[in-house]
Each structure stands twice: as structure tokens, then as C-alpha cells.
């Protein structure tokens, strides 16, 4: 396994490896790897000759009042985890390497963003698609792996790839959970002990929503009300949003049908957690 910080050196290394027709699987991350990332790496390892992991906390996808500075970082631990997962190359660039000058051309996301996290984080997905476009152009992967925990991110990247004919296959991977149902996240470390005990209520409320739909409920408002009731009664967290939308279009629906997503964000004292389920009727 090699850790590479320069774009030109990574390109050179991949060019050599690719000559024989080897396929490249790519897992983009902001580091501080947990089992969610491990499941992406495992899948990439199974399906490709070469696996590239990027570790880059992307400043332009954080808002001015968000946690860019305090986002958890631990490259040594990440290197160890990547090594164990069979990664071939870690791309670990500096902010300077990725953004050496003010950009003259910008990517703007116009759809699938005015809901869920996008509504609360203006410019966030512009930053996500910008860094991914750069990473795709640098690494030129055959397949790129993304966790469905950020289902809106997957929907936006699906749009990016189709709109610009990017020659990469998007592989969405199911959310990995703790035994009590809490979705794995780098931000879970910021939960207090009490909050950590309450946090599984997020997934429980989503399971309750699914049960309601399974039993025939087709009114989105009633399903959302069921979620809010469950959460309010069992956590001190504040519901940031609870929405039921079509997927991947992320449009509001009058009646539950086809493929839908039920997605939640809950604010605790030092962490804002998200989770979702996708249901097909």
C-alpha cells in the first residue's frame, strides 16, 4: 500500500498499473474511517484489481458555521484500517494540492438539493460535486463506491455522472449499523453517553415508519407524524428534518407509491446525525 499526496504522482502510479487493463475501484472519504467505510472498501476490493481510497476533508463542502476545523482526523489510524482492507493507494492530498488557485469555473447543483440536508446546508452539494469531479478526473476509476447513509448525496452524484457523461459507475452500498441499529458515522464520537443510548431511536423510528407503510398507510404526513412521535418520546435530540420523498428525484409526494426515501436528521448537543431508509412499494 502506498500513501500518495501529489496528484501527478498518483496519476503516474495508476497509469503504470492500468496498462494491463486492470480495473480501478475508488472509495472517496473524509477519513476517520469506520465500519461504514470498511464495507465500501470491502466491496471495492472484491470487484476491482486496484483499490484507491481518498482521505480529504473537503473545505468547500462545509458552511461557515459548520465543523470543518473540528471534523475528526486521524490519518495513522486510517492508514492501518486501509492496509487491513487491502487498499492499494491512499490519496491524501493537502488543501493546497486540491485547490491551488481560485477557480474560474464552478459546479452548481440545481435539483435534488432543496430538501433534506441540502436545504439546511446551502452550497454543501456544490462543494461535494466539485471535489468529486476533480477526484474522478485525477483517479479515473471504473467504479466509485458511496454509502446510502448519505442517500441525498448518492442522488446528487447520480445526477452529476449522468449530466456530464462521467465514465464511472456509481455503486451505492447499504448503510452499516451498530448492533443497536445506530448508523455508523464519524460524528458518533461526539455523542455524550446519554445521547449515545438514545440515538438508536433514530433507526427505530424509521422501522416504525416502514411498519406503518407495510400495514397499508399511504399518507406521507401520517408516516412522518409517527416518526416524530417516536423520536420526541425517546431522545433529547432535536429533529432537524423528517421527510418522505420520491427517490432518487427527491420530490414531495401526495401518496406513497413507487420508490421512496424516508430521511431524518437529529441534532444532539455536539453532533447532528442523519439516517434514512429507502422503501419500494
Residues at the interface with its own copies (CB under 8 A): 7, 11, 19, 21, 101-112, 129-130, 133-134, 137-138, 140, 156, 159-160, 162-167
- How would DSSP label each residue in 62-80? S-TTSSTTTS---HHHHHH
Residue 279's H or E segment, with its range, is: strand 272-280
Tell whether residue 61 is among the known ligand binding residues: yes
Q: Which residue has the cell 486540491?
A: 98
Report, in Å, the least distance between residue 124 CB and its own copies.
14
Give the nearer residue to its own copies in terms of CB position, either 118 or 200: 118
Catalytic residues: 37
User: Does residue 84 have a known ligand-binding role?
Assistant: no
Nearer to its own copies, 159 or 235 (CB): 159
Q: Which CB atom, from 102 or from 193, has the smaller least distance to its own copies? A: 102
223 annotated ligand-binding residue: no
Residue in 224, 253, 243, 267 with CA at minimum distance from that of residue 119: 243
Cis peptide before 121 (omega within 30 of 0): no
Specify the pairing of strand 259-267 against strand 238-246.
Answer: antiparallel
* 187 annotated binding-site participant: yes
Write down the least CB distance from residue 112 to its own copies, Å: 6
Q: Which is nearer to its own copies, 138 or 256 (CB)?
A: 138
Q: Which residues contact 69 (CB under 8 A, 6 or more apart)?
A: none
Q: Least distance to its own copies from the beta carbon of 8, Å? A: 10
Cα–Cα distance for residue pair 127/66, rounded to 1 Å: 13
Residue ranges at the known binding site for beta-alanine: 61
Residue ranges at the known binding site for ATP: 30-37, 147-150, 176, 184-187
Amino acid at each position: 500500500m502506498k500513501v500518495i499526496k501529489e496528484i501527478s504522482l498518483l496519476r503516474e502510479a495508476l497509469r503504470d498499473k492500468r496498462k494491463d487493463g486492470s480495473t480501478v475501484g475508488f472509495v472517496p472519504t473524509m477519513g476517520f474511517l469506520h465500519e461504514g467505510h470498511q464495507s465500501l472498501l470491502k466491496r471495492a476490493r472484491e470487484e476491482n484489481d486496484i483499490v484507491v481510497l481518498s482521505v480529504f476533508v473537503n473545505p468547500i463542502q462545509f458552511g461557515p458555521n459548520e465543523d470543518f476545523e473540528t471534523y475528526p482526523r486521524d490519518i495513522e489510524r486510517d492508514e492501518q484500517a486501509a492496509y487491513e482492507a487491502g487498499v492499494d493507494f491512499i490519496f491524501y492530498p493537502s488543501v493546497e494540492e486540491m485547490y491551488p488557485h481560485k477557480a474560474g469555473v464552478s459546479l452548481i447543483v440545481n435539483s435534488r438539493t432543496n430538501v433534506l440536508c441540502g436545504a439546511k446546508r446551502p452550497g454543501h452539494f456544490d462543494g461535494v460535486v466539485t471535489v468529486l469531479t476533480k477526484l474522478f478526473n485525477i483517479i479515473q476509476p471504473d467504479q466509485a463506491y458511496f454509502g446510502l447513509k448519505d442517500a441525498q448525496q448518492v442522488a446528487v452524484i447520480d445526477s452529476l455522472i449522468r449530466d456530464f457523461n462521467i465514465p464511472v459507475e456509481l455503486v451505492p452500498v447499504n448503510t452499516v449499523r451498530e448492533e443497536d441499529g445506530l448508523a455508523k458515522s464519524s460524528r458518533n464520537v461526539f455523542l455524550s453517553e446519554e445521547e449515545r443510548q438514545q440515538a438508536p431511536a433514530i433507526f427505530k423510528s424509521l422501522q416504525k415508519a416502514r411498519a406503518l407503510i407495510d400495514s397499508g398507510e399511504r399518507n406521507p404526513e401520517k408516516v412522518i407524524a409517527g416518526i416524530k412521535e417516536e423520536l420526541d418520546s425517546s431522545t433529547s435530540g432535536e429533529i432537524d428534518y423528517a421527510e418522505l420523498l420520491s427517490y432518487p428525484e427527491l420530490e414531495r409526494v401526495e401518496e406513497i407509491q413507487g420508490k421512496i426515501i424516508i430521511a431524518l436528521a437529529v441534532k444532539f448537543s455536539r453532533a447532528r446525525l442523519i439516517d434514512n431508509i429507502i422503501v419500494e412499494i
